[in-house]
Structure 1
Amino acid sequence: MDVRHFEDRLRARRHELEGRLDRIEHDFEQPRNPDDDDRALERNNDEVLDSLGLQGEQELRAIGAALDRIAAGSFGRCTRCGATITAARLEAVPYTPFCEACARELEDG
């Protein structure tokens, strides 16, 4: 398995997410419109941005953990059972810590 390929993808995604989170934070810092209708729309937008920010932060943590596994030499192995994570699964979700079987068990249970 080409770990360098995944490391490059993870670092690029981390950079993209950090930029997106910076833009979200910048949007929250902008002055709000005094008009009631516009404020209601801004509140709705803030809720969406907040949700996106939380998802981005969770993904950043998962990416950080995956980069730590690369550094430790354990990337590509399930953190739960030790089995090899398939290349197809890593291509889809390069920061996944679980093989397909363990992920399925965790989702079901």
Structure 2
Amino acid sequence: MSRFEPHEELERLSSEYLQRAAALRRDLAKAHDPDFAEQAQERQNDDVLRSLLIEAEEELRLVGLARQRLAQGRYGECQRCGEPIDEARLRAKPAAEFCLQCAAS
């Protein structure tokens, strides 16, 4: 197994979420078809795109908080109980704020 580099992984995630959010904003800015029936479908699609944008922005916020913890030397520390977060969890979810036990409760 390769060495886990949280700085690199958080940077990658940040870039990914920024690109995703930008693409969603571009899609939402597109003009709608003048046909009413087509417009109704496009507006439903916009609702889905807005939900995806909210999700991308939330993930970006969590990555930003994880980067702050990394800079402060508190990365990998559960924000609830203070115990270390298992490396496997951090590999799977690099912006994890809580250990598995706290996340489950």
Q: TM-score, normalised by structure 1?
A: 0.90
1:103 counterpart residue number? 103
Q: Quote the Cα distance in structure 2 between the aligned partners of 1:46 and 1:91.
A: 33
CA RMSD of aligned residues (A): 1.1
- Structure 2 counterparts to residues 1-109 of structure 1, below 5 A: 5-105=5-105
* AA of the residue aligned to 1:66: A
Structure 2 alignment gaps of length 5 or more: none
Q: What is the CA distance between 1:30 and its match in structure 2?
A: 1.3
State the percentage of identical aligned residues.
38
Q: Quote the Cα distance in structure 1 between the aligned partners of 2:79 and 2:17.
A: 24
Q: TM-score, normalised by structure 2?
A: 0.93
Q: Runs of 4 or more off by more than 6 Å in structure 1? A: none
Q: What is the CA distance between 1:36 and its match in structure 2?
A: 1.1
